[in-house]
Amino acid sequence: MGASSALPVEGRRFARAATRWLAPVLALLLGCVGPLEQGERLYREGDLRGALRVWGSVPETSPEFEPARARVEMVEDEFARLLRRYEKRAAFFEAEGRLGEAVLYYRLAYKLEPGRDEILDRVQNLVREMDRRVRRRRGRLEAALAAGDLRRANDHVRRLERLDPFDPRTQIEARQVRKAVEDGTRRRLRSGKLAYAAGDLARAERAFERVLELDPGNEMARGYLSYLRKLTDVAAQDPAGEPLPAAISEEEVIAEGHLRSAQEAEASGELFRALAEYEAALRINPDKRAARRARNELRTALEPQIPTLYDEGKRYFQDEDLHNALRVWRQLLLIDPDDARTRENVGRAERLLARLEEIQADGTP
């Protein structure tokens, strides 16, 4: 009779239980890592597929079977959510015309599910379309540079970067064009400031207009032009407006530029951009009454949209469409920046996107 059969029933049960619980510990002590820990190691390294394969290979007779099965269920759910986020992010970039980034995330999705032929077809079609658009836009850039038209060249560079920010040639072209635009803008701003200080308002106005030819969004040029027009057309001033300052700081000029940008955006129906510009003006000059009054009036007008915006962002978030969720919730915060629930949701979405960025940088989903 064997030694094990000589043990009482309770003793044999205890021995089997002890063996089941001690086996993983002994394996670790002896340097023989079990499949559960092997899978965890792969998971920590970002190899979700590898971890699932290892855990899925654990036999039912193994003491690690139950914890391995639990990990498979958890990671398969995470795997599916990660795949949806990749696809949603790719679709967002594609809709925005940011084809290089769309291709990147479709490729990451395909890496998770190599058998998805429709993703591979989408990648191939987008690469061909991106190449076609880049070649056409680069031809326009070269024509603008040959004509000395830096404003058009800068616009073409921005569009090239939007199409494919990873293209080294585009990055070089962007640096060169931006350097030329910055140098030209700096010279024209200096000329305008000197003319303004000398009282030559007509020459100052021409110089600042030429700044906007190179850089249409330059807030300093916009601010100076706003004050110049007040000075040269006093009769057209708003009687309830702010008095013209005797001396204008650069900060005040830029705040005025943001105010004018906000007013133009509001007039053209870009209401959320207008709110962002009013906020920018008030960050620079909190005492700017015209900006505060206009911002508060616009917030009041948009306040009924808050529930709709919140629900729209929530639907996007539940659908794993993080970019559109953030876009909508940030619009809501422009109306009501103290909405704690929306701020918390924005933080969650930003953390998830940051995680996707980390995975992208590592190159291992």
- Residue 156 pLDDT: 96
**pLDDT digit string, tens, across residues 18-49:** 454 444 444 444 445 688 888 888 877 767 77
In this predicted structure, the answer to whether residue 252 has a pLDDT above a threshold of 60 is: yes
The model's confidence at residue 6, banded by pLDDT at 50, 70 and 90, is: very low
Neighbouring residues of 72: CB distance < 8 A, sequence distance ≥ 6: 52, 55, 56
Mean pLDDT of 267-276: 96
Q: Which residue has the higher pLDDT, 168 or 55?
A: 168
The answer to whether residue 27 sits within a structural domain is yes
Burial 81-110 (b: 16+ CB within 10 A, else e): ebbebbbbbbbbbbeeebbbbbbbbbbbbb
The answer to whether residue 32 sits within a structural domain is yes
The model's confidence at residue 7, banded by pLDDT at 50, 70 and 90, is: very low
In this predicted structure, the answer to whether residue 3 has a pLDDT above a threshold of 50 is: no
| Residue closest to 280 by CA, chosen among 296, 307, 265, 262 | 262
Mean pLDDT of 290-303: 97
Task: Give the whole-angstrom CA distance, residue 192 versus residue 184.
Answer: 12
The pair of structure tokens assigned to 11 is: 């003793």
- Residue 242 pLDDT: 53
Q: Identify the domain containing residue 50 by its residue range.
A: 10-81
**pLDDT digit string, tens, across residues 144-155:** 999 999 999 999
Residue that has been written with the tokens 């422009």 in this structure: 334
Q: Which residue has the higher pLDDT, 13 or 355?
A: 355
- Residue 30 pLDDT: 42
The answer to whether residue 70 sits within a structural domain is yes
- Residue 52 pLDDT: 80
The answer to whether residue 357 sits within a structural domain is no
The answer to whether residue 40 sits within a structural domain is yes
Identify each DSSP E strand in the chain by its residue range.
none
Q: 258-262: which pairs have CB atoms within 8 A and are 24 or more residues apart? A: 258/219, 258/223, 258/284, 258/291, 259/226, 259/288, 259/290, 259/291, 259/294, 260/222, 260/223, 260/225, 260/226, 261/217, 261/219, 261/222, 262/291, 262/294, 262/295
**Dihedral of the CA atoms 350, 353, 358, 359 (nearest 10)?**
160
Highest mean pLDDT among 30-44, 215-229, 269-283: 269-283
Mean pLDDT of 71-81: 82
Lowest mean pLDDT among 87-91, 97-101, 112-116, 160-164: 112-116
Mean pLDDT rounded to a whole number for the chain? 85
Q: Where is 222: in which H helix or E strand?
A: helix 219-232
The answer to whether residue 354 sits within a structural domain is no
The model's confidence at residue 278, banded by pLDDT at 50, 70 and 90, is: very high
Mean pLDDT of 221-226: 94
Neighbouring residues of 357: CB distance < 8 A, sequence distance ≥ 6: none
> Residue 349 burial (CB < 10 Å; 0-12/13-18/19+)?
buried
The answer to whether residue 57 sits within a structural domain is yes
The answer to whether residue 158 sits within a structural domain is no
Mean pLDDT of 296-320: 95
Give the number of domains in the chain: 1
Where do runs of H (alpha helix) occur along the chain? 3-6, 9-29, 35-44, 48-56, 65-95, 99-112, 117-146, 150-163, 168-198, 201-214, 219-232, 250-267, 271-284, 289-302, 306-318, 322-335, 340-362
